[in-house]
Amino acid sequence: MPRVYAVVNQKGGVGKTTTAINVAANLPGLGLSGLIVDMDPQGNTTSGLGIVRSELSRSIYDVIVDAHDINEVVRPTAVTGLDILPSHRSLAGAEIELINLPRRERRLLYALESLRTSYDYIIIDCPPSLGLLTVNCLVAAEYMLIPIQCEYYALEGLGALTHTTQLIQRELNPRLKIGGIVLTLFDPRTTLTLQVAEQVRAQFPEKTFRTVIPRNVRLSEAPSHGMPITQYDPTSRGGVAYQELTKELIAR
């Protein structure tokens, strides 16, 4: 059975997509197969892995809204050993369309169960909201991987996420738990970064990964070349950090 992680935080721009792509891309190098699921209508994970969305005939939208066979939508990436369920703009409408569908919170869970190929890890990139798409992600996952950008209000957002998590644990998915918290866009030159990091570690001592992800320009350049950091610049500070993070995650 795969270990299923949802990369989640309702704030945008905290490093969810960067973390999803670069953790997933490190798996094959560590001997593990992976599937990455792009549940964000913006599709940055899909384009960041070099897939041109306008050329796709099917996406995760068809799977969760129209119950299209997931095995016809999953496709390989340029990283051997990593497959993807790509996103599409139409997914933005799914937030509303799902409301009237049966088992609206469990569409992704059921779809993943019918995958013919099994993976060691499934990494789901969530949209920046706590709507039905994210609920589908959290119902399909066992672990939440929460990126936190070390800035003001970083911890405030965690309150809403904790509340949603408790609701989902109670009503829909009792297995859901925090798999880990990762400090992203880390800049040790600013005292604010260090203060927030200290607060997060104090509040979640066991859950916060030792590895922090530095602010690193190579990480922000890689998606425009359609490559994960493992291909674009694996020895950059960001590349080394994501490899360390992936090892730490696997060891948990």
How far is residue 171 from each of residues 139, 179, 208, measured CA to CA in Å? 10, 20, 26
Which tokens sit at 138? 């959290």
Q: Which is nearer to ligand ADP, 70 or 150 (CB)?
A: 150
Structure tokens at 61: 């939208």
Residue among 41 and 223 whose Cβ is closer to ligand ADP? 223
Rg, the chain, Cα only: 17
213 binds, among ligand ADP, Mg ion, none (CB under 5 to 8 A by kind): ligand ADP
Whichever of 190 and 220 has its CB closer to ligand ADP, that residue is: 220
Residue 41 interface partner, choices Mg ion, ligand ADP, none, CB cut-off 5-8 Å depending on type? none
The region that residue 206 occupies, defined by phi over 0 for left and psi between -120 and 50 for alpha, beta otherwise, is alpha
For residues 14, 16, 18, 21, the Cα torsion angle rounded to the nearest 10 degrees is 180
CB-CB contact of 230 with 26 (8 Å):
yes
10-69 binders of Mg ion (CB under 5 A) = 16-17, 44
184 touches, from Mg ion, ligand ADP, none (C-beta below 5 to 8 Å by class):
ligand ADP
The C-alpha atoms of residue 146 and residue 16 are separated, in whole angstroms, by: 8
Joined together, the tokens standing for residue 172 give: 């829909």
Closest residue to Mg ion: CB criterion: 17
Query: At closest approach, how far in Å is the CB of 39 from ligand ADP?
Result: 11
Q: Give the residue with the Cβ less far from ligand ADP, 17 or 59.
A: 17
Q: Which is nearer to ligand ADP, 17 or 134 (CB)?
A: 17
List binders of Mg ion among 1-20 (CB under 5 A). Answer: 16-17
Size of the site for Mg ion (CB under 5 A): 3
136 and 130 Cβ atoms separated by less than 8 Å: no
Between 175 and 247, CB nearer to ligand ADP: 247
242/140 Cα distance (integer angstroms): 24
User: What is the SS3 assignment for 49?
Assistant: coil
Q: Contact positions toward ligand ADP, by CB under 6 A?
A: 12-18, 44, 128, 184-185, 213, 215-216, 219-220, 223, 238
Least distance to ligand ADP, CB of residue 242, Å: 9
- Whole-angstrom distance, CA of residue 137 vs CA of residue 23: 17
Indicate which of Mg ion, ligand ADP, none lies near residue 219 (CB less than 5 to 8 Å, by partner kind).
ligand ADP
Binding residues for Mg ion, rule: CB under 5 A, are 16-17, 44
